Structure 1
Amino acid sequence: MAKNKNSKLLNLLSGSFGFTLISIFIGLIIGAIVLSIAGFNPIEAYGVMFKGVFSKPKYIAYAIIYATPLMITGLSVAFAFRTGLFNIGAEGQYIIGALVAALSGYFLKLPPIIHVLVILFVAALTAGLWGGIAGYLKARFGVHEVISTIMLNWVAFYLNNYIVMLDGFRRPQSETSYDILKTASIEILGNWKISDTGREWLANYPFLADAMRAPVNLGIIIAILLAVLISFILNKSTLGYQLRAVGFNKYAAEYGGINVQKSILVSMIIAGALAGLAGAIQVMGVTKNVAVLAAMEGYGFNGIAVSLIGGNTAIGSIFGGLLFGILQYGGPKIQSALQAPSEVINIVIGTIVFFIAIPKFIKMVLLLRKKRGEQFVR
């Protein structure tokens, strides 16, 4: 009986989900070692981080807000991975989506719900076309998507900075744009919660009142709906079958009658649209504007790690983004509380991604463990 239980446990850990759990555990262990070397108690530091996320409803809300754009950029990267492409351009597509959302959110005058839907559509379309440039170059001329998307990231970066500084869009004496109109916001009960009626009602529900102190918005709901939609497209639709077939073997797919060039283009358009939606949601729900960028914000690049943590699956990207959000929001609190280096969190994240990227090594260790267990039983 014990042998069967051990065998089942090892089989579970040998799967992709098991690799992820092991990688997270190793990342936390290495982070603890680094903290110990630096002279800090790792248990105390992780305790501070845990309390910094889960001790108050407001903290939980902020962690989810941090995680939401990462979920969607992770979804973008995962979609491209599943179709045989490496969308390292999610960063640029995110920037384009955010910029278009700020422009249409400020200049368009539409009713509340319609305004939100129009912005999401326009941002997704524009970022999708931006991603489609790399798809076209790959399909038509064989230009590798890693090279083209890296270049497009920088084009998007400087295009954002140029447009933000244009008269009529730039807020006077600043390096940010005007805020989007209230009709373009997806913040939940934004005006109501600061009204007299809202404050009186929330006073009866302290838990909810504390959570609403954060800029709670519809982004997390949109992210989950997008994950369900992408999962359905990839696993249950003809389009998903064709895209995955091209990803597995484009020559076999072409022999089977699938238009490979069209599939590459469509895949990059969808991936770009997803990353653009992440940028739009961040603007509509949190920042309300865009600013001149001194450096890449990292949402698209972190989406690559989120996708890997999530096993390059749609639903996995939601949980991977949530883990990232928790670490990124709770991690810096060890610096203010203990004066411990917050860079430890980046070491943890990097270690997790590193070990997820080498599953064969973990599998080898597990197999050795399994063989030793069998020899011990004998």
Structure 2
Amino acid sequence: MTTPIRVAVIGAGMAGQAHAFGYRNAMMSVSTPISVELVAIADPNLPLAQSVAARYGFAEAIGDIDALLERDDIDAISVALPNFLHAEVLPKVIASGKHVFAEKPIGRTVEEASSLQELADASDAVTGVGFSFRRLPGLAALAAAIADGRIGEVHTVRGWYNADYAADPAGALSWRYSQEQSGGGALLDIGSHAIDAVQFVAGQISRVDNTTLRTVIAERPVPSAGAIGHGASASNERGPVTNDDIALLSVSFHNGAVGQISLSRIAQGVPNALGVEVFGTRGHASFNSINSGEFVLFEDGLTDAAYNGPRHIVTGPAHPYFTDVAAMPGGGVGTGYAEAFTAEIQEFLRCVAAGTEMDTDFAAASAMMNVVGAALEASKTGTAVDVA
């Protein structure tokens, strides 16, 4: 029997709850035995931490984050805090010597991300970052098909992330709407996932050729004390939104491909949809998380012209992560947003057990942030900016 990995989560908000969900379900894995001991949820909002601990079966809740780091009954820690707290908390967690799994992004700027990557690189512990969409079987299978050369040489890429969590003007003015506290609006909050997904599938972005940033809802009501999430506020006091609701990027890739990435947090009627479409010299492939249980693949010349066309492939046990997260080990039962969190936590725990690096490490987070940094600079200057 495998020795349990003792885990804690710092942050009891939406992302922290998603991590707790992942740990709770990590032992679904059948390909690799995983054993987890759910030790603690830590958050300065102790009542919230207590409710999350009770919901997901963690043994206790604590309000003192620093005290958690000094304990010797914890092997690994997830950090899921607002962006402006990562630069403060992550160095202390890394210095504790415990394995670290951080929610994206690991910093608000290129400089913060680079500094945190240096600390992670110097650590003997496993350090990973939560780019959860990579763990959806459909997107992972699409990336594998492109890497195998099934569509030939990639020349055109389109990525998008549309969400409507900010479409209501009454939505509270949380840290997500502050450029200083967040590091970016749609560009970083949801763009981090889309940029990572595009680079995961099509290769590294070398240059941001053009960036358009727009703020449509210029002010919002201040939130009530202790509020989390994207809920509305009835406050009569209002404040300015200082980052973007919409971001449009034109990019170039190291492999010679060109692409576009469109991001919106005010896409009315589209609650949460990440997609990637890639065209190559011998075919194309696409994925949309709204239909996360399938992907599309076209391979030129696969059969005669009368019957050849794009195929909608339903994910199943032959595809990455599926067997370890699906409710039943058969095609068509569906996997989605929740299963992606289970898969990313499983991958983190496998790496902890084996002492190996994650593919979504702090370097991957820095690579994403370098694109964001170039996009912000391109928006200011109106010129193309090379990605660091």
TM over 0.5, yes or no?
no
Q: TM-score range by the shorter chain?
A: under 0.3
More helix by share: 1
Of Structure 1 and Structure 2, the greater strand share is in 2
The structure with higher relative contact order (CA 8 Å, sep 6+) is 1
TM-score (norm 1): 0.28
